[in-house]
Amino acid sequence: MLKSILTIVGGSAVSLLITIIASPILTRLYKPEDFGLVASILAPAAILAVIAPGRLGLAIPIAKSEQDARDLFWLGTLSCLLMVPLLTAGTFLFVDMSIDGLTTTQTFFALLVITFFASEGEIVGFWRNRRKRFAFGARNGVIRSIAVALSQWSLHGITHAGMLLGNFVGGIFATALSWAEIYRCDKARLAGLPSRRRLKELLVEYRDFPLFSMPQGLTAAINQNAVPLLLLWLAGSAVAGQYWLVFRVLVAPINILGGAYRQVMLSHLGASEGKREEDVRLVLQHILVLTAMCIPAVTLGLFFGEQLFRFAFGDQWQLAGVFASWLALGFAIDLVKVPANCLLQRERKHHAILVFDIIAGILRAAALVIGYSVGGEVFAIQCFACANLVVWTVFILWAIR
């Protein structure tokens, strides 16, 4: 298990390092409003990408048989192909998606394609981990990060939407590489689509994932991406862009590392004999390790976040540094809680995770809006971070009780 975690986390670390190294260059080429443009597309895409596959990817590593895993792969892929266009159209039908600098057609196409890359990437990633091909996933992530950074740099001066188009190019690279790998390694294993009857049987057998894990994932995605969307609504694209930089260099790394950790740990919990005492002991050990890893970063962020951001990214990003100093505290818990979350998923207690996510979403959104109305954007982020820390600390204690 340790080797698998180190492989994925190591690949994620290199990808994050590339993103972080590129950020000081990009913040001097693009304005906060340009980062806000990225947030206006990537935030809703991250929410829709959870709905499209119905979270069936989570079932692949712990499927009861190879046949189930193979059929779940195709069920998730077909769900993405069907649901992404419908969800994108529904978003434009019921939500005002007017974005400065982009036509309606450009916005629709960007949201559609980026949502598909994200949703299908989840299915492919869980299949790859089922096959224990962790190294390829790590390499793929590194190549994607390089493609995104180079595209965003080269498109500066050509279009103000270069930040957004860079993510589009990176998605194309990652998807093409993933499907080339599947064709080379799994062509025979995945040959032929399951019948409609078989798909219905799978939906019944693994119904907990779309019924409970998908709402839980949707709630988590809304919780995570509500911040830039609320800041767009409350304070405008410049403030949302300041937050998006923090998300890029602080929050997104935590999410990527947590996702990598979750995928590997789920596969190993799924292979265990199901003794809760042993699972809890393993989970507690990992919680303590993750906590120890987070303490230095949180301390550095709280005391020196503003100064570090001004030095690294320029004076116009001072507000982002203030945000980062508090979000380092608030979002570290999102990484620490991953083992506890995996334990409850292993035990199929999806409803409990969903309840906590809903509570967290309500409290965090209320803290952000009330904080903004009382003391502006900085106080809003402070209230948001503290609410996040309290809710998920209670969640961890409850999960391992």
Give the span between the Cα atoms of 272 and 265, in whole angstroms: 11
The band of 338, judged by pLDDT with boundaries at 50, 70 and 90, is: confident
Could you report the per-residue pLDDT of 68-104, keeping only the tens digit for each? 889 999 999 999 999 999 999 999 988 877 777 778 8
Tell me the residue length of the chain.
Answer: 401
Range of the domain at 32: 2-399
Sign of the Cα torsion 231, 144, 136, 9 reads: negative
Reply yes or no on whether the pLDDT at 8 is more than 70: no
Per the CB < 8 A criterion, the answer to whether 329 and 294 are in contact is no
Number of domains in the chain: 1
Reply yes or no on whether the pLDDT at 1 is more than 60: no
Reply yes or no on whether the pLDDT at 53 is more than 60: yes
Contacts of 196 (CB under 8 A, 6+ apart): none
More confident call, 100 vs 356: 356
Could you report the per-residue pLDDT of 101-122, keeping only the tens digit for each? 778 888 899 999 999 999 998 8
Per the CB < 8 A criterion, the answer to whether 350 and 366 are in contact is no
Count CB-CB contacts under 10 A for residue 290: 20
What integer pLDDT is reported at residue 252 of this predicted model? 67
Cα distance from N-terminal residue to C-terminal residue, the chain: 24
What integer pLDDT is reported at residue 273 of this predicted model? 58
The band of 272, judged by pLDDT with boundaries at 50, 70 and 90, is: low
Per the CB < 8 A criterion, the answer to whether 177 and 120 are in contact is no
Reply yes or no on whether the pLDDT at 366 is more than 60: yes
Reply yes or no on whether the pLDDT at 190 is more than 60: yes
Give the span between the Cα atoms of 389 and 78, in whole angstroms: 37
Count CB-CB contacts under 10 A for residue 397: 10
Alpha-carbon Rg for the chain, nearest whole angstrom, is 20
What integer pLDDT is reported at residue 64 of this predicted model? 83
Instruction: Give me the helices (H) in 30-103, please.
Output: 32-51, 66-94
Helix (H, G, I), strand (E, B) or coil at 60: coil
What integer pLDDT is reported at residue 358 of this predicted model? 87
Helix (H) or strand (E) holding 29: helix 2-29
Cα separations in angstroms, 292 against 49, 52, 300, 391: 32, 36, 14, 20
Reply yes or no on whether the pLDDT at 372 is more than 90: yes
Prediction pTM value: 0.79
Helix 32-51, helix 214-235: angle, nearest 10: 160
Cα separations in angstroms, 146 against 24, 36, 140, 174, 178: 15, 22, 10, 11, 16
Helix (H) or strand (E) holding 296: helix 276-313
Nearest to 240 by CA among 37, 104, 20: 37
Nearest to 226 by CA among 88, 354, 368: 368
What integer pLDDT is reported at residue 260 of this predicted model? 67
Nearest to 208 by CA among 400, 52, 54, 47: 54
Greatest mean pLDDT among 29-43, 133-147, 187-201, 368-382 lies in 368-382
What DSSP string runs through 131-200?
Answer: TT-HHHHHHHHHHHHHHHHHHHHHTTTT-TTHHHHHHHHHHHHHHHHHHHHHHHHHTTTT-SPPPHHHHH
Reply yes or no on whether the pLDDT at 258 is more than 80: no
Reply yes or no on whether the pLDDT at 2 is more than 60: no
Give the span between the Cα atoms of 335 and 157, in whole angstroms: 37
Q: Which two tokens stand for residue 366?
A: 């209320």
Contacts of 2 (CB under 8 A, 6+ apart): none
Per the listing, tokens 């911040």 go with 227
Q: What amino acid is encoded at 364 in this protein?
A: R
Percent of the chain with pLDDT over 90: 24
What integer pLDDT is reported at residue 355 of this predicted model? 85
What integer pLDDT is reported at residue 287 of this predicted model? 86
Could you report the per-residue pLDDT of 216-251, keeping only the tens digit for each? 788 878 888 888 989 988 888 899 999 999 888 877
Per the CB < 8 A criterion, the answer to whether 249 and 320 are in contact is no
